[in-house]
Amino acid sequence: MRKDANRVFGGISKNNLLGNKGNDSFSGGQGSDRFVLAPDNGSNIIQDFEDGIDLLQLNGGIAFENLTLTEESGNTVINSGSQRLALVSGVASSLLTPEDFLIAESES
């Protein structure tokens, strides 16, 4: 793991997981978790996304319509334009729908 990367772990309750710049690795643990994806926050790895329980929150003006979801060896890669936001480990791209995403309210 690179020097500017972090490993972020949640507990047994609801967690909001947000990394810093760099390529971070998230593990939410039990409970419904919210994995925050934002532009310029590196390409993150989400280890234990539970479809129908956890959410992927889009920050920084990212819209679901601008995402591309592709499958890579049984994992889902999430891109916004040319930027890779995350790899969702062990989750097929066909399982991720708009209901799995939360669009953050813009800051005014």
Q: Which residue has the higher pLDDT, 81 or 42?
A: 81
- The yes-or-no verdict on residue 28 having pLDDT over 80 is no
Q: Write the CATH number for 58.
A: 2.150.10.10
Query: Taking residues 95-104, what's their average pLDDT?
Result: 93
Q: What is the pLDDT of residue 16?
A: 58
**Considering the domain boundaries, does residue 108 fall inside one?**
no
Q: What is the pLDDT of residue 7?
A: 55
Number of domains in the chain: 1
How would you classify the pairing of strands 7-9 and 44-46? Answer: unpaired
Q: What is the pLDDT of residue 107?
A: 53
**Considering the domain boundaries, does residue 38 fall inside one?**
yes
Contacts of residues 72-78 at CB distance under 8 Å and 24 or more positions apart, as own/partner, are 78/37
**Considering the domain boundaries, does residue 1 fall inside one?**
no
The pLDDT confidence band at residue 20, using thresholds 50, 70 and 90, is low
The pTM (predicted TM-score) of the whole model is 0.80
**Considering the domain boundaries, does residue 68 fall inside one?**
yes
Q: Which domain holds residue 49?
A: 7-103
Q: How many angstroms separate the Cα of 63 from the Cα of each of 1, 30, 60, 68?
A: 29, 27, 9, 11
Q: What is the pLDDT of residue 14?
A: 62
Query: Taking residues 73-99, what's their average pLDDT?
Result: 95
* Centroid of chain to Cα 17: 9
